[in-house]
Structure 1
């Protein structure tokens, strides 16, 4: 046991003293803030610049319905011959909206054409189709002798009220918030597994390449060495996450103190304003959503996150360690990494495309129990409420599989760390299990 602690200490110190680890630990929060600021800046660069579109309406029925807005600016060049208008639009405008002359306005529904060297955006296409549809619908109603104004007044917008069997009112969009919270926790686990699992693999490959492993293995058992690397790297990763949280809180404090940014909506409101706002519909909705969030099983979510974090990381890191021991270079490891990463990606897709629509369905339930996807899928299901027996069964299978995989990986590790100069195959890895 003392040797295991020494290996953990060695791996941890080696990782945290690494210059790249130190730089990225303190630079990453600043990079995230910078990237977010850059994206926000780039998204506002073209806000004041509308796209110039030319219109050539030969019949003159529709062009008046195209109004300038912040996104599109329309210029009528219908008086020009079409050929000249087309050449002019090619030189001076983003594109030309061509509306041919027809005998009946209804025939124009599939004849409107947009001519441009660049592909039209979905936003613009939808905007044009909406205007054309509106004009044609109004014309059709007039032909049928129907009063468009009365039809518009007769339209009714309904609102579906959501409630529980207990009589308590439920809220729209709550499922999306739940899946976002669960998805964030699952995504953090996936990223931690991929990043620090690779660190474990690279550490093994480096020591194997430098032949240091031969000296180390003479003093400790391969299993102890593998577990020491996994735990040491995981502790370094947890330390890095804690530092990121502290640095993020410090940046938020600095932004609030020195730049006058208010990080909560009520910071600049007087008590009188808050009392008035408290009666508004928006504030009441916010309070309702906040109450619902506070009613979520937050303690269970936190405990489950820690347990699935530990189980998922150890499960996958043991496989990363086995791969590192089996190969001589990181390039050779690529053939073995895809089967490891695929269950993680599958878990994300199952979570976002299945759990949100049917959190208690067969697919979501099965994949929340399968150990290679449960750290992601189960965390997405927990905010919706999960029977205790499913949660216990999932954790038992996860840690049971972890124990088996550690044994399985240790056998590959024991043989692979002393193998040099030969690229292993899947068939050869299975042979090593018999040694």
Structure 2
């Protein structure tokens, strides 16, 4: 046991003393926010402002087609249609001409079928759909007028409402759309982080084992410690490295949510004389405050507990497999035929977790979070929505038992494989090692 502790300590200190570890741990949340901001700016930078001239031969659409910040409608006389179309190709400041034909005998269907958009360059799909939507809205209002129904009456019929949802299993707390959205984002984030870390750190264990095996350093090491102690020391050491990063990130996230929640909640809702841009920024801050408030309303102690427990057990479970693979092969090329067995169950759990947004308590969610091969990612994805205590307990017991059994199997493979050189291990040969 003392040897396992010493090896764990060595593996842990070797990793955390690296400058790259400190920099990545502290800057990773900022890099993630920065990456998201860059993606958002890229979408913003790719947006286009289109100018469309409108030839309205009926006068039905004038004053009804409203310009927006992405689309400008400029009405021109119907007599200028041919001249405008002929000069469109050389007009770089104009994106297209919308030609709305005459309405004959109240036949709106014919009007829509004969409507044309002549473009100078390619326009975006969203711009085209916006034009179609605007035209349909005007036609809809014209039809309503002919039926003798006032717009105010129609607006009253179409008036939407927000359905308040009270969750009795969470002390009658209101479950708003924003809160559900926050849970969904948190669910996917925790699940994806767990998936990636299990693979990244599992592969790190495998490469470490493979490197020591190829350098023949392991022959010297196992003269002092047992192969099982060496394997467990490596797994636990890297586990502590990952946990250290998670503790730092969780602390930064909670502190950030608290600061955002308390720092902007006291800002007055009515800012006299504020510009439109200022109000827009204030709305963004208010949205950030609401999101942080929704985060803080979640059962964070339970979420953190489940996250740490399932990550720990899931990582040890899969790292045992990776350590066994590293000991059974001689080079990284040969690892590919075995690592598929470790990656596939995780991928099933990850992609299955995307369905939890529709039904987190459904049969798929239940079984994925109970089966040990998928529960490390599936249970973490379900926990923000709320999971019964008995399901959490059952899943932990099954995952713990399976993890202990996998450590036992990996230890048998590791004990023999770590000293095997030059022979390409097959599944049949690995089975003999386990039996032996």
Bin of the TM-score, shorter chain as denominator length: 0.7 to 0.9
Question: Who is 1:28 aligned against?
Answer: 28
| 2:50–2:71 CA contact under 8 A, matched in 1 | yes
Structure 1, unmatched stretches of 5+, are: 274-284
Distance in 2 (CA, whole Å) between partners of 1:287 and 1:23 is 28
| 1:54–1:93 CA contact under 8 A, matched in 2 | no
Question: Who is 2:278 aligned against?
Answer: none
Question: Who is 1:74 aligned against?
Answer: 73
**Cα drift, residue 237 of structure 1:** 2.3
- Kindly indicate whether residue 200 of structure 2 is the aligned counterpart of residue 195 of structure 1: yes
Question: Who is 1:389 aligned against?
Answer: 390
Question: Who is 1:162 aligned against?
Answer: 165
Count of matched residue pairs: 413
TM-score by length of 2: 0.77
Question: Who is 2:348 aligned against?
Answer: 346
Structure 1 residues 234 and 97, CA, compared in 2 at 3 Å: closer, same or farther? Answer: farther
Distance in 2 (CA, whole Å) between partners of 1:247 and 1:139 is 56
When structure 1 is superposed on structure 2, of 26-35 and 200-209 the one drifting more is: 26-35
**Cα drift, residue 201 of structure 1:** 1.4
Instruction: Give the secondary-structure state (helix, strand or coil) at the position aligned to 1:74.
Output: strand
Distance in 1 (CA, whole Å) between partners of 2:305 and 2:320 is 23
- Kindly indicate whether residue 422 of structure 2 is the aligned counterpart of residue 400 of structure 1: no
Within-5 A mapping of 1:310-321 = 310-321=312-323
CA RMSD of superposed structures (Å) = 4.1
Distance in 2 (CA, whole Å) between partners of 1:416 and 1:370 is 29
Question: Who is 2:212 aligned against?
Answer: 207
When structure 1 is superposed on structure 2, of 399-408 and 417-426 the one drifting more is: 417-426
Question: Who is 1:137 aligned against?
Answer: 140
Distance in 1 (CA, whole Å) between partners of 2:330 and 2:111 is 67
**Cα drift, residue 325 of structure 1:** 2.0
| 2:15–2:21 CA contact under 8 A, matched in 1 | yes
The one of 314, 334, 337 equivalent to 2:336 is: 334
When structure 1 is superposed on structure 2, of 310-319 and 53-62 the one drifting more is: 53-62
Within-5 A mapping of 1:86-101 = 88-89=88-89, 92=92, 95-99=95-99, 101=101
Structure 2, unmatched stretches of 5+, are: 273-286
Distance in 1 (CA, whole Å) between partners of 2:366 and 2:97 is 52
- Kindly indicate whether residue 371 of structure 2 is the aligned counterpart of residue 370 of structure 1: yes
**Cα drift, residue 138 of structure 1:** 2.6
Deviations 1:85-134 (A, max 9, x none): 27625751574354463643322435545546546233x24322221211
| 1:201–1:323 CA contact under 8 A, matched in 2 | yes
- Kindly indicate whether residue 215 of structure 2 is the aligned counterpart of residue 216 of structure 1: no
**Cα drift, residue 342 of structure 1:** 3.0
